[in-house]
Amino acid sequence: MTTLDVSGSRAAHDAAVADLRRARAASGPSVQLGKRTSNLFRFGDRDRPAPTVVRLDTSALNGVIGVDPVARTAEVQGMTTYETLVDATLAHGLMPLVVPQLKTITLGGAVTGLGIESTSFRHGLPHESVLEMDVLTPSGELLTVTPEGEYADLFHAFPNSYGTLGYALRLVIELMPVKPYVKLTHHRYPDAKAATAAIVDFCDLSRPGHVDFLDGTVFSPGEQYLTVGEFVDEPMPGARVSDYTGQEVFYRSLQRRPVDHLSVHDYIWRWDPDWFWCSRAFGVQQPWVRRFWPRHLRRSDVYRRLVALDQRYQASNHVRRAFGAPEEEMVVQDVEIPVARIPEFLKVFHRDVRIEPVWLCPVRLRGQRTWPLYPMDPGELYVNVGFWSSVPRVPGKPDAHNRLVEDLVAELGGHKSLYSTVHYDEDEFWARYNGPAYRAVKDRYDPAGRAKDLFSKVTGR
């Protein structure tokens, strides 16, 4: 395995793990990883930790230990951001099989939570390309877990456990080869039914023509796009290679440019400079603001910190009240819906929630292996629907829109990710997220209950 300079040697990693374990042993029952960034939208637990919570220093666990270009694997520390990981692997003409859309998502976070991107119709979710992990359990044990080994139950229950079963400190993951550029073709559809039929067609891996990447953007019920990406060695003759880190905004190009080209690096991070389309809330898409907003601050982690400050001090709602406008409910969710039910979901969503645009990303499990805490059916094609905005609150029902989404997802046989607000009661939660399977693993690896359980972690109750 080729060791890169980004993090030093395996010996340095082992020393950092030993330091972390000593700090964990010396702390009380309430600990939290001291990560510099977060992509969670449950404000309060990480942004405003309780005084009794000890933050563990993980600054020495945020690099790539090595890349093996022959085996196409990488050995990676758990707090490594995908930005760091991608830089290391692209140097070898490789990339992770699934790279979540935002630069500061960490590999460990994507595995213990859930990640998704435009390769997910081929390669599933990030945890499906993990070969082994070193997990620090709540009881302080350091275990090397694999799909078939002694701790296989922990390996399979780890995805969607959000740190309640332990922290991944080292992971070995599969990689895939890349070409220098990605050619994009944006196909427009008049309604959800037509777009859904096209998703099924593009996701048929036996169809003629090769699709490397696939996602979609819904601007309105009558304006929907699917973006097909294909690795290429060079752009078509006369074609420009676009740059959306400057004045142009990527999602607006879908409406103007039927065919586009990006370097593979810029394709991977095409959504980050504007946090998909959410930078518009800060005026960053206005040309005069964009010119003066420093390029290095046009990043998802910067915008997320601004939202965290607003949530902490409720500044925007204070302003709305001052001008007699209703307060707003934040509706930030990613949900997986069986592909055939997408038109039904979007019909209700457009009518009752009315957030636009909406992101579509097809996903299916990579193989026949199942993951007990996020029970998707092998062979079933789902579509991730992502929506991230706020809407006027319903008087007396501050969570009305989020609860509507949860009920609709359940009605259509889908699932929702847990990185954002969760409103299920406890019985309903455990029915949806396989309470018996979770409890069996929790009892084995955290018998003293040193870490919160999953329900308490994601609801704050």
Domain boundaries in the chain? 2-178, 314-423
DSSP, residue by residue, 364-403: --SSS---TTS-PPTT--EEEEEEEEEEEPBTTBTTHHHH
CB count within 10 Å of CB 248 equals 15
pLDDT at 1: 41
Place of tokens 């030993």: 18
Q: Indicate the burial class of 28 (C-beta count within 10 angstroms; 0-12, 13-18, 19 or more).
A: exposed
Q: How confident is the model at residue 24 (pLDDT cuts 50, 70, 90)?
A: confident
Contact residues for 81 (Cβ-Cβ < 8 A; gap 6+): 37, 62, 103, 104, 105, 106, 107
Q: Which pLDDT band, with edges at 50, 70 and 90, does 461 fall under? A: confident
Among 141, 168, 139, smallest CA distance to 451 is for: 139
Rounded to two decimals, what is the model's pTM? 0.94
Q: What are phi and psi of 451, to 5 degrees?
A: -110, 150
pLDDT surpasses 70 at 49: no
- The average pLDDT across 253-279 equals 97
* Phi, psi for residue 335 in degrees, rounded to 5: -130, 150
* pLDDT tier at 27, thresholds 50, 70, 90: confident
Q: What is the pLDDT of residue 320?
A: 83
**Cβ atoms of 76 and 65 closer than 8 Å:** yes
Segment among 31-45, 141-155, 160-174, 380-394 with least mean pLDDT:
31-45
Report the range of poorest mean pLDDT among 98-112, 199-213, 330-344: 199-213
5 pLDDT tier (thresholds 50, 70, 90): very low
Smallest CA-to-CA distance from 183 within 204, 219, 210 is with 210
Give the confidence band of 220 by pLDDT, cuts at 50, 70, 90: very high
**Alpha-carbon span 64 to 79, nearest angstrom:** 10
Confidence of residue 51 (pLDDT cuts 50, 70, 90): low
- Residue of 185 and 2 predicted with greater confidence: 185
Q: Is the pLDDT of residue 40 over 60?
A: yes
Q: Residues of the chain with pLDDT > 70: what percent?
A: 95
Q: Minimum mean pLDDT among 50-54, 210-214, 378-382, 452-456: which range?
A: 50-54
Does the N-terminal peptide bond of residue 69 adopt cis geometry, omega within 30 degrees of 0?
Answer: no
Q: What is the pLDDT of residues 344-380, one digit of tens each?
A: 999 999 999 999 999 999 999 998 889 999 989 998 9
Using alpha carbons, select from 260, 185, 245 the residue that is nearest to residue 215: 185
Question: Can you give the pLDDT at residue 209?
Answer: 78
pLDDT at residue 52 is higher than 80: no
| Fold annotation for 314-423 | Alpha-Beta Plaits (3.30.70)
Residue 342 burial (CB count, 10 A): 25
Q: What is the pLDDT of residue 9?
A: 78
Distance separating alpha carbons of residues 194 and 221, to the nearest angstrom: 11
Q: What is the pLDDT of residues 421-459, one digit of tens each?
A: 999 999 999 999 999 999 999 999 999 998 999 999 999
- Report strand pairing: 31-34 vs 54-57: parallel
Domain 2-178 in CATH 3.30.465.10: yes
Looking at 52-56, 161-165, 202-206, 272-276, which range is the least confident one? 52-56
Provide the strand spans (E) within 190-301. 213-220, 223-232, 259-263
Q: Phi first, then psi: what are they for 23, rounded to 5°?
A: -65, -40
Residue 285 has pLDDT above 80, yes or no: yes
Q: How far apart are CA 37 and CA 40, in angstroms?
A: 9
Structure confidence by residue, pLDDT tens digits, 288-327? 999 999 999 999 999 999 999 988 888 888 788 888 888 8
Q: What is the pLDDT of residue 318?
A: 79
Cα dist. 314→4, 43, 77, 192, 317 in Å?
Answer: 44, 12, 36, 36, 5
Domains 2-178 and 314-423 fall in the same CATH topology: no
